[in-house]
Amino acid sequence: MDFGELCRKFQTTKKAMQGRRGSQGLALKRKLIAYILRNKYCLSYPEIAQIMKKDHTTIIYYIREINNTKKWLSLVDEEL
């Protein structure tokens, strides 16, 4: 699966994922796609940054945000 296929799976366009603007929903999609590219396809931060036309530090931030959310969700699940 390539970047274009991931975008289609998340019902968005490559242009929207590579752009600077967007809603919270679009920002979450960017984070999730970066996370998938890193963890499922083992791409480096610079490789993902090049694909998404972002700085590699932005990609690091995206992936940390998803990891933090996963930790928070697992804590909530434990409490329930």
For the domain covering 3-79, report its CATH number.
1.10.1750.10
The predicted-structure confidence for 22-60, as pLDDT tens digits, reads as follows 788 899 899 999 999 999 999 999 999 999 999 999 999
Q: Where are the domains of the chain?
A: 3-79
pLDDT at 78 over 50: yes
pTM of the model: 0.83
Conformation bin of residue 13: beta by default, left when phi > 0, alpha when psi is -120 to 50? beta
**Numbers of helices and strands, H then E, in the chain:** 5, 0
Residue pair 10/32 in contact (Cβ under 8 Å)? The answer is: yes
Give residue 69's pLDDT: 87
